[in-house]
Chain A
Amino acid sequence: MSGIDQSKIRNFCIIAHIDHGKSTLADRIIQKTGLLTEREMQDQVLDNMDLERERGITIKAQAVRTVYKAADGEEYILNMIDTPGHVDFNYEVSRSLAACDGALLVVDASQGIEAQTLANVYLALDHDLDVFPVINKVDLPSAEPDRVIAEIEDVIGLEAQDAPRISAKTGLNVDEVLEQIVQKIPAPEGDPTEPLKALIFDSVYDAYRGVIISCRVMEGSVKKGTRIRMMATGAVEEVVEVGYFGAGRLIPCDELSAGMVGYITASIKNVRDTRVGDTVTDADRPCAEALPGYKKVNPMVYCGMYPADGAQYGDLRDALEKLQLNDASLFYEPETSAALGFGFRCGFLGLLHLEIIQERLEREYNLDLVTTAPSVIYKVHKTDGTVIDLTNPSNLPDPSEIDYMEEPLVKAEIMVTTDYIGPIMELCQQRRGQYQGMEYMETTRAMLHYHLPLNEIIYDFFDALKSRSKGYASFDYELLGYERSELVKLDILVNKEEVDALSFIVFEGSAYERGRKMCEKLKEEIPRQLFEIPIQAAVGSKIIARETVRAMRKDVLAKCYGGDISRKKKLLEKQKEGKKRMRQVGNVEIPQKAFMSVLKLDEN
């Protein structure tokens, strides 16, 4: 296979805003190039996880290689790398882009450019990729391809007049896309005789083969028996197999050389050794320096995860361990809560990442979980000069030991139609946003720039944004840094007892409002019990809000069941079961879902 002509290879990715049709186009390309028969074709081949198919988003990068016979009569190898489509996975996106030589920009013919489109295009241009636009969904009645083409030219400055106008759904003009891939995306470069230098853009753990590294070979070559070294982590292993990506299966080959995209297996046991962005080199003939851009991604959002049934603690630990084999950015460590028992403090790249892990734990591992409110990492500067990274509000030192605190700030870009600028600015204001400026994209749309505290956007910012713009706003952000802020710990007391799992850090000025909403919400969630239960919100020793759950007055089974005692018992068992799903705090039983309901404190 070493005889592959570099000039006949095209490595590219597809970038698009969520729902603009990236995965559908990828499927269509696979189908058009005959890689799969109709029968094998299942919608969105590249999105492997059930979750990805359901949510319609790509969570992990995937690659596939197809062969296309172009109009010039030559056969081209197309390596298509599907990138994750969410801000939580920005770093993974950037590494996938680095593995490509060009990118297709898919834009919805009705929606036009969105915040994420721009973010991804700029990311691609930063990586010196040749980007060419594709206008999708032209078959829809609301399609305005001319307007969108003008927008692409005005806003991004990309030549778009000859952009293919396609419908990935029906297959219309997809051939044109394939031709343009061949014509517009440059062939890879790189010397196959140089020392090995390959970029890891994904790695997954397989129970039989160990870690499967997805990589783009930049220089040199790699084959079975090569001793490879990951330059950042230092892991060294002997290659067991190399190959490329068929649709849904791995096809072994003799060698991967400069310009090729493929996989390497080497009996590696953990994805932590093969981090995305790291450089693979030949341990015996290493390259001089690693590829630029590697960073170890760190969790931005933390929460406590507890098994609903304490007996499942071990199962939860095993499940997290297994997920981490495949997800180097997932962090977890044991923690204990007085209210929730034994569980784990887990760290995630963002809220979507958190939700995905939570869903996978519940679905794939059949765990029933209680999750505490997500928290960002605060920097607590103590009076003794030390600084701690606070990921669990319960660990906040006594106020007398705190000099000051800092919270993470993000740079946010919000794209919105002009009708909704007012409400969106108001929302950003409420969330302590610092206005940085605004640009009009056309007469009808604008891009708002804000600096926002991360803790203001990890709860329900996205939902609020959507509801205030009737779904038209789109949003992208990146971490900016830390800023000093007046923060306090808000505690919740149920029947005069502090419930550690409900404590959170909040901006001092918002404490009263948040406390009040928490109390109201908890009042709805905590069922009446045999006695009256006060619910209080407190900052330090000061009570700032209070609600009361009245005592239960009547719960008696005054029905005639004759001798059907089994049925009576079942009813009591159900009652008992309901109780099991509750957490005992002092005398009070708090339903599991109360702990999570506080995440959704309705805005209006």
Chain B
Amino acid sequence: MNKKRKPLELYVHIPFCIRKCAYCDFVSGPGTKAMQKEYEEALLAEIDAAEETAEREVISVFFGGGTPSAVDAGMLARVMEKLRSKYVFSEDAEITLEANPGTLDAEKLKCYRKSGFNRISIGCQSVHDEELKRLGRIHTFAEFQESFALARDAGFANINVDLMSGLPEQSEEKWEESLRTIAELSPEHISAYSLIVEPGTPFAEQKLDLPDEDTEREMYARTAEILAEYGFFQYEISNYAKPGFACRHNIGYWKRTDYLGFGPSAASLFGNRRWTNTADRSLHLKACGALEKIREDEEILSRQDAMEEFMFLGLRMTQGISTAEFEEKFGKEIHAVYGGVLKKYEAMHLLQEHSGRLALTRDGISVSNVILADFLM
């Protein structure tokens, strides 16, 4: 590894799925073979046109969606090839593919391995079929189990499973059952999200019987406890991993490592610039690699913006942020900037400083939105 190279992460959006879930607000939808082919061309053109970054080293790639496993495995292979031809990859780069049960088979998995994917993230969400049905998922729990086993057989030694709490009519017991069942399968990583009803999704139109605040809090608190029993440690608000398996790609987001996103709605951070690609799939196709037509909402981050991000992203991680790093990056002692806020939350035992790091406490994590918002100036 060349020490001089700065790290870079890549994100590739695959806006196709078998069917849209009831809570999903990502840019995705079903697509024909022809549409997928057309998209592949646009995507490759976009990658071609992107920043030349000879001095960078790619430390992680993440294929998200949509359901990347719903498209032809050959397409993913060709995109990987393009990325490898354009960028320098570090030897141990983490290369993740998002997959859904019901779209995986041994053949595809073999193909993924060959393309260099070494981590797979499977959307399970629940071990209860009635909950899966309510969410509009296309699969049963049995199908998940099968997919999981297939992935292991194909040689995936780093698997994430997504689970979701706060579902309509979900009891604490049901949630606990989901957690334990998955933990017993012993994946390397578990992402435990809570359902957020987003405007524009079918869920937003329905009257849902959602767990109340206290139940949600209980579910959230129990998640960390239960997963700890199985050797998972919480390293971020909604992410848990066995030692050594924290998702590097995600950590990159919290630590503000540069990343380039390809495909509609993909976000990028490069130096002091952030931008988001158009969410309009047909616009993305038509642009055919013309970046000025794809990239939107470009924002030049001021030092203050960067400072705020450093705090509200960094504090999502259980290890928190390093006060020395803050000073090194921004040339100011952290207490000189955030003294009031820090003091306030430390007094409430929601934040603590320990050997040069500042981190939210357990109670602090539960109400982190309130605290993180206070770091905006």
Query: Interface digits, A550-571 against B, CB 8 Å rule (1 contact, 0 not)?
Result: 0011111111101111101101
Residue of A nearest to B316 (CB): A557
Q: Does B145 touch A at the CB level, under 8 Å?
A: no
A39 to B194, CA, bound (A): 60
Among B241-261, those with CB < 8 Å from A are: 253, 259, 261
Chain B residues with CB under 8 A of A553? 213-214, 216-217, 366-367
Q: Which residues in A have their C-beta under 8 angstroms from that of B165?
A: 558
Given A556-B237, A573-B376, the answer on whether A563 and B368 have CB atoms closer than 8 Å is no
The reply to whether A560 and B276 form a contact with Cβ atoms under 8 Å apart is no
At the interface, yes or no: A438 with Cβ under 8 Å from chain B?
Answer: no
16 A-B pairs in the complex with CB atoms less than 8 angstroms apart: A531-B348, A555-B370, A558-B165, A558-B192, A558-B194, A559-B193, A562-B62, A562-B253, A562-B261, A562-B267, A563-B11, A566-B274, A566-B299, A569-B309, A569-B312, A576-B376
B302 → chain A closest CB, angstroms? 13
Whether B191 is near chain A, meaning CB under 8 Å from some CB there, is yes
Q: Which residues of A contact B (CB under 8 A)?
A: 529-531, 552-560, 562-566, 568-569, 571-573, 575-576, 579
Q: In the bound complex, what is the Cα–Cα distance between A566 and B299 (angstroms)?
A: 9
Chain B window 178-217, contacts with chain A (Cβ cutoff 8 Å), 1 for yes, 0 for no? 0000000000000111101000000000000000011011
Which single residue of chain A is at the shortest CB-CB distance from B216?
A554
A589 to chain B, nearest CB (A): 10
Residues B366 and A572 in contact, CB atoms below 8 Å apart: no
- State the B residues within 8 Å of A (CB): 11, 62, 64, 162, 165, 191-194, 196, 213-214, 216-217, 220, 237-238, 253, 259, 261, 265-269, 274, 276, 297, 299, 308-309, 312-313, 348, 350, 365-370, 372-374, 376
A579 to B217, CA, bound (A): 22
Residues of the B chain whose Cβ atoms lie less than 8 Å from the Cβ of A531: 348
Chain B, interface SS category? mixed
* Residue of A with least CB distance to B13: A562
Across the A-B interface, give the 10 residue pairs with the lowest CB-CB distance, nearest first: A554-B217, A558-B238, A575-B373, A553-B217, A563-B267, A572-B373, A555-B369, A564-B267, A558-B194, A576-B373
Q: How far is the CA of A559 from the CA of B309 in the complex (A)?
A: 17
Q: Which residues of the other chain, B, contact A529 by a CB distance below 8 angstroms? A: 370
Instruction: Give CA–CA (A469, B137) in the complex, Å.
Output: 54
Q: Which of chain A's residues has its CB closest to B195's CB?
A: A559
The reply to whether B312 and A572 contact each other, CB–CB distance below 8 Å, is yes
- In the bound complex, CA of A553 to CA of B216 (Å): 9
Contact A566 B312 (CB under 8 A): no
A566 touches B376 (CB 8 A): no
Instruction: Choose one: B62, B193, B370; the contact of A558 (CB below 8 Å).
Output: B193
- Give the residues in chain B near A576, CB-CB below 8 Å: 373-374, 376
Residues of A within 8 A of B348 (CB): 530-531
User: How many Å from the CB of B264 to the closest CB on chain A?
Assistant: 12
- When chains A and B are docked, how far (Å) is the Cα of A572 from the Cα of B315? 13
Of all chain A residues, which has the CB nearest B265?
A564
**B161 CB to closest chain A CB, in angstroms?**
13
| Partner pick for B11 among A562, A568, A579, CB 8 A cutoff | A562
Contact B370–A530 (Cβ < 8 Å)? yes
Residue of B nearest to A579 (CB): B373
Chain B: minimal CB distance from A233 (Å): 52
In whole angstroms, how far apart are the Cα atoms of A573 and B373 in the complex?
7
**Smallest CB separation, B194 vs chain A (Å):** 4
- A565 and B367 contacting across the interface, CB-CB below 8 Å: no
A48 to chain B, nearest CB (A): 40
Q: Give bound CA distance, A204 to B299, whole Å.
A: 49
Asked whether A565 lies within 8 Å of B213 as measured between CB atoms, the reply is no
| Distance, CA A558 to CA B163, complexed state (A) | 11
Contact B238 A552 (CB under 8 A): no
CB distance B368 to A556 under 8 Å? yes
Contact A572 B214 (CB under 8 A): no
B324 to chain A, nearest CB (A): 23
When the two chains form their complex, are residues A572 and B369 in contact, meaning their CB atoms are under 8 A apart?
yes
Of the candidates A530, A554, A565, A575, the one whose C-beta lies within 8 Å of that of B313 is A565
Distance A529 CA – B309 CA, assembled complex (angstroms): 24
Across the interface, A556 reaches (CB within 8 A) one of B62, B297, B312, B367, namely B367
CB distance from B18 to the nearest CB of A (A): 19
Residue in A560, A566, A573, A575 whose CB lies within 8 Å of B191: A560
Provide the bound-state CA to CA distance between A569 and B367, in Å: 16
A557 touching B191 by the CB < 8 A rule? no
In the complex, what residue of chain B is closest to A560 when comparing beta carbons?
B193
- Cα A573 to Cα B196 with chains together (Å): 18
Q: Tell me whether B373 and A566 are in contact (CB under 8 A).
A: no
Nearest CB on A from B163, distance (A): 11
> Using Cβ atoms and an 8 Å threshold, which residues of chain A touch B308?
569
A562, A563, A571 — most chain B CB neighbours (10 Å): A563
Of chain B, the residue at the smallest CB distance from A571 is: B369
CB distance from B223 to the nearest CB of A (A): 9
B370 nearest in chain A by CB position:
A555
A552 touches B367 (CB 8 A): yes
Q: Is A555 within 8 A of B267, CB to CB?
A: no
Minimal beta-carbon separation of A572 from chain B (angstroms): 4
Minimum CB–CB distance for B241 against chain A, Å: 15
User: Are A559 and B276 in contact, CB atoms less than 8 angstroms apart?
Assistant: no
Minimum distance in angstroms from B25 CB to a CB of chain A: 10
